[in-house]
Structure 1
Amino acid sequence: MTSSALHTVLGASGAVGRAVLDELLTRKLPVRVVSRSMDRAGVATMPADLLRAEDAQRAIRGSSHVYLCVGLPYFAEVWARDWPLLMRNVINACAANHARLIFLDNVYMYGPAPLQEPFDENHPQQPPSEKGKTRKKTLDLLHNAMAKGTVQAVIGRSADFYGPFATNSMLYVSFLERMLKGKSPQLLFPPDVPHTYSDTTDVGRALIALALAEDTYGQAWHLPVGPPVTMSELTAIFNQQLGTSLRAGMLPFWLQHLIGLFTPPLREVLEMNYQFRSPYIMSDRKFRERFPDFEVSGYEEGLERMVRYFGNPKTYVVTPATP
């Protein structure tokens, strides 16, 4: 590690990147913000294209901890082309600067479907999707670098997340965005299948907890989730907070696939629908046992933050994270 601490957030304009940044600022830790675009007032930002090795080296130079929270456009072709390159560049830059890497991962590499109930960090990795295959390939690069001693890293694996700024969240696209316009939620899957979700505030706090602990490195950790919940139950929470009485409807499978033939973004989402057609319940037991005092947000609390932000983003104020 470097002699002095410097926490660098890669992808700080995303929902989780912002949550990591907020927690670092709450803890009064030295921060560098790296993003192609960032509109956070009062925070200096370094622009960088991490697909360029020289940009990655410049962004990470002098860092002690590097949080890889980057999101790429949600297309399998883009992921296959860019994720392995981006990971190699970040690993090499961390190695050159003796920086610890904290990687925000997802659960796409698990398979075959349907997954075990619940599934933990030891679940087989036989991904049923193209994006999942790319994620596993990218993760294998990091595991190999860790095994060789090239980089010291910890992997924080998040479930589908929701919260302020999370414009790609299923709970925004299918629910809140429509409900704020007085429209009923439109689902691509059955409304009564249980699923676990992570709150972005919790994800940010959890990544930093992993980063600052000495015994977490060299491992993958499932980040905290709420209890299994159905879309019908989430609709009821949104209705209560918005003062509405809207009901979720499901687009028939045959119509989804027909529309997907002419709508590439929908086609990309349909590839991942196996996660919602049967119970998809992630275990965070390992994290909770290591950090027993970590308080996980309830869905009512987390969704209230989300409603507050998307309802009036110009006046949204971040709630200080729990120290």
Structure 2
Amino acid sequence: MDNEIHTVLGASGAIGFAIIKALQNKNLSIRAVSKHPMQGVKWVYANLMDTVLTQKAIQGSGYVYLCVGLPYDSAIWASQWPVIMKNVINACEKSNAVLIFFDNVYMYDPYYLPSSFDENTPQYTLTKKGITRKQISDMIMDAIRQEKIKAVIGRSADFYGPFAKNSPFYISFLERMLLDKNPYFLGSPDKKHTYSYTLDNGRALVLLALDSSTYGEVWHLPTRKAITIEQIIEIFNGILKKNYKIKIIFPIERKLLSLFSKTIKEASEMNYQFEHDYIMVSDKFKNHFPDFHITPYELGIKEMIKSFCKKNTNR
């Protein structure tokens, strides 16, 4: 199946970019699917809420990467994600394509999260976004059990990297630094948190796709050790040659600001992830792919900064 088409749904996003780069490095046949034209790669328009357009976009594919990024809005997630997942699963079944789903970790039970967590951590959540993520992940696992499709799920920690506007390293952070303003943070500054680099995610997802022994399972995508936001700002300051200070937004302030900022309101329900150590274990992947090189934070953050500085220069 190595010569068949690798179709990337959500190709214009940061993870789509990373997957395409990984596929290009392996000289594999690529079909980029998004709502807006893309240059340098074969591109197909599709609205994944539409059954027919989804089937046309996937038809003839050997592998389908689902890495769509919907607006960070719990109501949009609840209404659109199940429809998109159903359409993609059905289209993969018709085309006999392997589905590779780029997932997050919102479905895990917060009770278990102060200690490190892996793929076997119990799933239970009362957050709106977490409920939706569990629902669509379960849809894939049900389709696998029913032998409708072959699929693999790659779960990422909060990610950062080139063009990653939905990254916690960008929102209220790098975006403010590029305006020469101090960043702010909606969590505890001394707590450790795990992050994934987008280009590592892209390479990892392609490896999972090409290794049929990984199918039918959930894999935590590879990460380096957890790091505090204070350590992160040191890296940013070192690269930017600045001395920015972090403004910590405490819970009382957060509640007030959420009345005026939808971004903060939407982020608030997930903020438990930043109020204690949040350490995602990816040993399963590392043991299966022992030669995989994980990008150091310093290099990944440097590439992220470069991508946004270049983007701003081109405007």
Q: Give the structure-2-normalised TM-score.
A: 0.96
Q: Percent identity?
A: 48
Q: Which residue of 1 aligns with 2:259?
A: 261
Q: Deviations over 1:189-209 (max 9, x none)?
A: 111110000000000000000
Q: 2:140 aligns with which of 133, 139, 142?
A: 142
Structure 1 residues 4 and 242: CA distance shift in structure 2, 3 A = closer
Structure 1 residues 269 and 19: CA distance shift in structure 2, 3 A = same
Q: Which residue of 2 aligns with 1:320?
A: none
Gapped runs of 5+ residues in structure 1? 317-323
Q: Which residue of 1 aligns with 2:131?
A: 133
Deviates more, 1:96-105 or 1:125-134: 125-134
DSSP-derived class of the 1:208 partner: helix
Q: 1:38 deviation in Å?
A: 4.1
Give the Cα separation in 2 of the matches to 1:303 and 1:145: 37
DSSP-derived class of the 1:235 partner: helix
Give the Cα separation in 2 of the matches to 1:171 and 1:302: 11
DSSP-derived class of the 2:110 partner: coil
Gapped runs of 5+ residues in structure 2? none
Q: 1:173 aligns with which of 171, 174, 177?
A: 171
Q: 1:112 deviation in Å?
A: 3.0
Q: Which residue of 2 aligns with 1:30?
A: 29
- The question of 1:282 aligning with 2:271 is answered no
The residue identity in structure 2 corresponding to 1:222 is H
Q: Which residue of 2 aligns with 1:49?
A: 47
Q: Deviations over 1:283-313 (max 9, x none)?
A: 0000000000000000001001001111122
Q: Which residue of 2 aligns with 1:206?
A: 204
DSSP-derived class of the 1:221 partner: strand
Structure 1 residues 224 and 315: CA distance shift in structure 2, 3 A = farther
Q: Which residue of 2 aligns with 1:78?
A: 76
Give the Cα separation in 2 of the matches to 1:181 and 1:298: 26
RMSD: 1.5
Give the Cα separation in 1 of the matches to 2:164 and 2:111: 26
DSSP-derived class of the 2:180 partner: coil
Q: Deviations over 1:256-297 (max 9, x none)?
A: 111212322221111110000011000000000000000000
Q: 1:215 aligns with which of 201, 213, 216?
A: 213
Q: Which residue of 1 aligns with 2:106?
A: 108
Q: Deviations over 1:140-192 (max 9, x none)?
A: 11111000100000000000000011011110113211112221111111111
Give the Cα separation in 1 of the matches to 2:112 and 2:212: 35
Question: Any runs of at least 4 consecutive aligned residues in structure 1 with deviations exceeding 6 A, and if so which?
Answer: none
DSSP-derived class of the 1:190 partner: coil
Structure 1 residues 38 and 256: CA distance shift in structure 2, 3 A = farther
Give the Cα separation in 2 of the matches to 1:263 and 1:98: 44
Retained in 1: the 8 A contact 2:4–2:62?
Answer: yes
Retained in 2: the 8 A contact 1:113–1:128?
Answer: no
Q: Which residue of 1 aligns with 2:290?
A: 292
Q: Give the structure-1-normalised TM-score.
A: 0.94
Q: Which residue of 2 aligns with 1:188?
A: 186
The residue identity in structure 1 corresponding to 2:252 is W
Retained in 1: the 8 A contact 2:110–2:272?
Answer: no
DSSP-derived class of the 1:265 partner: helix
Q: 2:306 aligns with which of 304, 308, 316?
A: 308
